[in-house]
Amino acid sequence: MIDRDLLVTEDELHAYVDGELPPGRRSAVEAWLATHPDAAAAVAAWRGQADLIQVRYGGVADEPMPDRFSIDSIARLACRRRNGWIAVAAAAVLVAFIGGGAAGWFAHGAAAAGPSDLKRYTTEALDAYRLYVVEVRHPVEVPGDERPHLTQWLSKRVGSPVRIPELEKMGLKLVGGRLLPGPTGPTAFFMYETPSGERFTLYCGQTKDQATALRYIAGKNSSAYYWVDGDLFYVLTGPAEQDRLHAIAQAAYDQIDVRTPPQGG
């Protein structure tokens, strides 16, 4: 019969090399290595690889730092890129603003006026989309199968009844939701996913802006439709492709519309 305490697995050999072995196993592994030349050769080879990698790349961290990596340069770039993106997007939506709700935007140039909710919301929503859409393991805080809890919790935090649209017919399954800090306070953030893994997000928080119809804003790799309904601002973001995004946003808009009674949940 084999004594399990004496048997050493390959995983333990790796853990030994990487200093991840529980202290109690160290002597068992060393005894094993003394009597198993193949295992000892493997351990020596792995250590040699680590040395080669260290020798080859370790010095990069000590190289003089180019100016582009000063925190001030990076901070300037972070600002510039954001403004650059807004400038491009502004041209795309300018037409949509004429006729209503545009006061905040046109006051943008005036020193006294802060940015409108509109601008701040769409910027934040696109940022949140980019941040969480790549998240594999923790895209949401509360999973989509807890829809009633999600609705109740986020309505309470946002301070107004939040409706989570049902987009199954559009091929979008609710992954879940999370709470985010927004420009005017707590904001609800929902994520949907298609069977092929494309992700769409709905961002929602309080605003004093007037109700609007659907409006489109184009980004580079993602774009968004946004609207105001009652006292809530919504931004639906997804991979750029205007027609499809419009259909999805329209479906969400129709369900959220406060003039229609909520359909349970």
Partner 1 sequence: MSDFRAQIEAAIPALRRYARALTRDADVADDIVQDTLVRALRSEHLFHGGDVRAWLYTILTNLNRNRLRTLSRRPVLTPIKDSDAATGGPESGGRDIGRALNDLAEEPRTALLLVVLEGLTYREVAEVQGVPIGTVMSRLARARMQIRSFLDGERPALRRVK
Binding site for partner 1 (CB under 8 A): 10-11, 14-15, 18, 20, 42, 45-46, 49-50, 52-54, 56-58, 60-63, 65-66, 68-69, 71, 74-75, 77-78, 81-82, 127-128, 130-131, 134-137, 180-181
Q: Which residue's CB is nearer to partner 1, number 49 or number 260? A: 49
Q: Which residue's CB is nearer to partner 1, number 94 or number 131? A: 131
Q: Which residue's CB is nearer to partner 1, number 4 or number 137? A: 137
* Residue at 219: amino acid letter: G
Q: How far is CA 264 from the centre of its chain?
A: 28
State in angstroms the smallest separation of the CB of 48 from partner 1: 8
State in angstroms the smallest separation of the CB of 142 from partner 1: 16
Q: How far is CA 33 from the centre of its chain?
A: 46
State in angstroms the smallest separation of the CB of 173 from partner 1: 19
State in angstroms the smallest separation of the CB of 75 from partner 1: 6
DSSP assignments along 39-63, one per residue: HHHHHHHHHHHHHHHHHHHGGGGGS
Q: Which residue's CB is nearer to partner 1, number 11 or number 254? A: 11
Give the CA radius of gyration of the chain: 27
State in angstroms the smallest separation of the CB of 73 from partner 1: 9
Please answer whether residues 150 and 176 qualify as being in contact, where contact means their C-beta atoms are separated by less than 8 angstroms: yes
Q: Which residue's CB is nearer to partner 1, number 78 or number 91? A: 78
**Nearest-angstrom CA–CA distance, 174 and 176:** 5
**Nearest-angstrom CA–CA distance, 46 and 16:** 11
**Nearest-angstrom CA–CA distance, 99 and 105:** 12
